[in-house]
Amino acid sequence: MNDFPQAILPDNRVAPVPRRIRGVLRDQVVVDTINAVYVWEFPFYPHYYIPLTDIDPNLLVDEQQDQHLRWGTAHRYGIRVGDDYRAGVVHSYPDAAVDGIRGRAHIDWSALDSWFEEDEQVFVHPRNPYTRVDALRSTRSVSVGIDGIDLARSSSTMMVFETGLPTRYYFNRTEVRFDHLVRSDTVTACPYKGRTTDYWSFRLGDDILPDIAWAYDFPTRQLLPISGLIAFYNEKADITVDGERLPRPTTHFS
């Protein structure tokens, strides 16, 4: 059994979004709505479903094609901004049997350059309103190692507790040993923390274990306490807390 709480929402749940949602492509606002809903197509996080009337009609291209998808018959649209055409990225459900979905459309997240909740950018996917992400300072003793090699040791980590993920332990940079760490070009993003600024791989001789640690130098406002700190994947490294080795989980998100 995992030592962290799992997402508990069932699939197919629909709930209102009390936030203004906007989506932008090539500096053009494609979506602007205060009437979106969250739809959980699977338990971990929702998608936005947008009223078709809140998608700029000058940018929406009717592809004159229907598809049978999850919620029934969907009408397919593309999005065009200048010479940039994104085909088949909008699916509208005019006759869906599920309340809240009828008359709304699913837009592929990656079809747009950026999404905003109110005036804050959201990365990767919509934030789950039932997920908590807390950064708490702790004086518990935490160490990280691989193959018996110490990589970090601290009694002042910032612990990040995120629903559905193992606890992440963020270390001050002065508490990290960089002898076996090499920078990589990897960049990842998180809806709750923002976009990473650094990644490191583990090197031992000619062997490389890629992307075991990361940092957010400019995290979202809610996670400012982790700014500039370094965390390691529990899935790739041996983490010990107060003398007890933690089991390696199978989840893999930063």
Q: What is the pLDDT of residue 90?
A: 96
- pTM across the whole model: 0.85
Please write the tens of the pLDDT for every residue from 84-122.
999 999 999 998 888 889 999 999 999 999 999 999 999
- Kindly state the average pLDDT of the residues 145-162: 96
- Long-range contact list for 154-161, CB < 8 A, 24+ apart? 158/225, 158/226, 158/229, 159/135, 160/133, 160/134, 160/135, 160/136, 160/193, 160/223, 160/226, 160/231, 161/4, 161/132, 161/133, 161/134, 161/136
Question: CA-to-CA distance for 69 and 72, rounded, in angstroms?
Answer: 5
Residue 131, strand partner residues: none
Query: What would the mean pLDDT of 6-22 be, rounded to a whole number?
Result: 82
**Closest to 55 measured CA to CA, from 79, 82, 20, 86:** 79
Question: Does an H or E element contain 65, and which?
Answer: strand 60-69
Query: Which pLDDT tens digit goes with each residue over 176-234?
Result: 999 999 999 999 999 999 999 999 999 998 899 999 999 999 999 999 999 999 999 99
